[in-house]
Amino acid sequence: MILNAFFLAFRQIRRNYLRAFLTMLGIIIGVGSVIVMVALGNGTTKMITQQISSLGSNLLIVMPARGLNTGGGSLKRNFSMQEVNLLKMRLQNFNAIAPISSSSSLAQYQGANTQTTINGITDDYFEVTEWKMSMGRYFEENEYARNVCILGQSVKKALFNQANPLGSQIRVAKIVCEVVGVLESKGQGAMGQDQDDVILIPFKVFNRSISGTNSIFNINRIFIALKDNADSTKATTEVKEILREARNIKSGQLDTFEVMDTKEIEKTLQSTTKTLTLFLGAVASVSLFVGGIGIMNIMLVSVTERTKEIGTRLAIGALASDVLLQFLIESIVVSALGGIIGTILAFFISLYLATHMQIPFVFDIWVAIGAFLFSALVGIIFGYLPAKRASKLDPIQALRYE
């Protein structure tokens, strides 16, 4: 009986394929919208996770404060190597501490040039950031006072395009340095910056030739790589206590530095994007109910159009439950077909948008299955009233219906 009802449902859809498609349209849009929104939300979450992870695992970033003190003056103050050494002596559970001095400058090679970020680094930098080489090598121990440099992928492309830069002499600000390596690409950072638009040079060379300042406070930020089992919250507190003491910051006074915990930033951003994804998915699911109302309206029209057919079936012995089942299955089939089409379209639309927006393509199969099952449920809920109405028709009155 149920199998026969399915055959009847498909025959009815084939007879009125245009009306059936227009009926499905609301379900197609609803299912597709939910899946696309969730896929893009998950892709964005994954991109943020990758961008933060690209800085290094279990990392603290110490930067100058950005606020104002009570007198209205800026709290911004760079760091000194003495403060870095103090952190190395007193901080617990860390693998490496890397001071970084930064400046924006022009890099030139033959007829090509590019404005880029110059970072002065120590040998701990690569351990902290876990940044691998695509070609060439890291600085050797005896090179941290020589004019050598390592290029990011964006700088390499701007100055050399496809040519091999190793061994070439490029001008960076006032100095000429030898290219000894090229970093692997990291892409866009968590704040939207191009992480590959950078040149690394030894810390001593930067302070001697690039920074242009004689101040001992010549470090723009400090990267601290914690051990895997380290409590980042506790480590953040320790860093603040050490630096407050080193800078003689009294109780009640504002810090002249900020400590960013990449784990906490990652958790916050992931939570925000997941909440936004759920919200967008919930908004998109409203169209499923709109589609359900469309199904109910069309099925009510169908009951009216097929009144004589229903009367004939009832007159020759069909039970009211048989008629109810027939119309209910028709509603489910229309809704389920809409769900299948919507899921297939959503897959390709999500893939296209993810590629266009340059975010990872994350297609959650369980969300797709859930959306499809929900579309079938919509068919049951909104198809029941028309099916019930059909089953309650009086056979004699139905046969007289014009």
- For the chain, 402 residues long, the average pLDDT of each consecutive 10-residue run is 62 70 78 84 76 68 72 66 90 88 89 90 86 89 85 91 90 89 79 80 87 77 85 86 87 84 72 75 72 70 61 63 70 80 89 85 82 76 67 56 48
Say how many Å lie between the first and final Cα of the chain, rounded: 29
Q: Which of 217, 246, 275 is the last residue of a domain?
A: 246
> Please, are residues 191 and 67 in contact by the beta-carbon 8 Å criterion?
no
In this structure, the answer to whether residues 274 and 234 fall within a common structural domain is no
| Residue listed under structure tokens 């601290």 | 224
Residue 323 belongs to a domain: yes
Report residue 328 as tokens.
């209910």
Q: Which of 185, 216, 246 is the last residue of a domain?
A: 246
Residue 36 belongs to a domain: yes
In this structure, the answer to whether residues 222 and 100 fall within a common structural domain is yes
In this structure, the answer to whether residues 272 and 333 fall within a common structural domain is yes
* pTM of this structure: 0.63
The whole-angstrom separation of Cα 354 and Cα 40 is 7
In this structure, the answer to whether residues 281 and 229 fall within a common structural domain is no
Residue 386, classed as helix, strand or coil, is helix
In this structure, the answer to whether residues 227 and 274 fall within a common structural domain is no
Residue 64 belongs to a domain: no
The string of DSSP codes covering 334-378 is: HHHHHHHHHHHHHHHHHHHHHHHHT------HHHHHHHHHHHHHH
> Please, are residues 145 and 204 in contact by the beta-carbon 8 Å criterion?
yes
**What is the pLDDT at residue 316?**
66
Residue 153 belongs to a domain: yes
User: Which DSSP symbol is given to 28?
Assistant: H
The Cβ of residue 174 has, within 10 Å, a number of other Cβ atoms equal to 9
Report residue 105 as tokens.
């400058």
The whole-angstrom separation of Cα 147 and Cα 202 is 8
Single-letter amino acid code for the residue at 390 = A
- Residue 142 zone, left/alpha/beta (φ > 0; ψ -120 to 50; rest): alpha
Residue 66 belongs to a domain: no
In this structure, the answer to whether residues 88 and 44 fall within a common structural domain is no
**What is the pLDDT at residue 118?**
92
**What is the pLDDT at residue 226?**
86
**What is the pLDDT at residue 281?**
72
In this structure, the answer to whether residues 114 and 188 fall within a common structural domain is yes
**What is the pLDDT at residue 53?**
61
CB environment 376-392: b (16+ within 10 A), e (fewer) = bbbbeebbbebbebbbe
Element (H, E) at 163: none
The whole-angstrom separation of Cα 107 and Cα 96 is 29
**What is the pLDDT at residue 156?**
92
In this structure, the answer to whether residues 306 and 183 fall within a common structural domain is no
Report residue 261 as tokens.
């915990």
**Cβ neighbours for 79, distance < 8 A, ≥ 6 positions apart:** 62, 64, 99, 217, 219, 220, 221, 222, 257
Taking each helix axis as running N to C, give the angle between helix 365-391 and helix 320-357, from 0 to 180 degrees, rounded to the nearest 10.
Answer: 150
Q: Which of 246, 278, 293 is the last residue of a domain?
A: 246
**What is the pLDDT at residue 72?**
45
> Please, are residues 170 and 109 in contact by the beta-carbon 8 Å criterion?
yes
In this structure, the answer to whether residues 242 and 272 fall within a common structural domain is no
Report residue 391 as tokens.
């089953």
Residue 67 belongs to a domain: no
In this structure, the answer to whether residues 132 and 216 fall within a common structural domain is yes
Total structural domains within the chain: 2
**What is the pLDDT at residue 119?**
92
Residue 71 belongs to a domain: no
| Residue listed under structure tokens 């606020």 | 67
In this structure, the answer to whether residues 123 and 240 fall within a common structural domain is yes
In this structure, the answer to whether residues 129 and 180 fall within a common structural domain is yes
Residue 290 belongs to a domain: yes
Q: What phi and psi values does residue 230 have, to the nearest 5 degrees?
A: -75, 145
Residue range(s) defining the domain that contains residue 184: 78-246
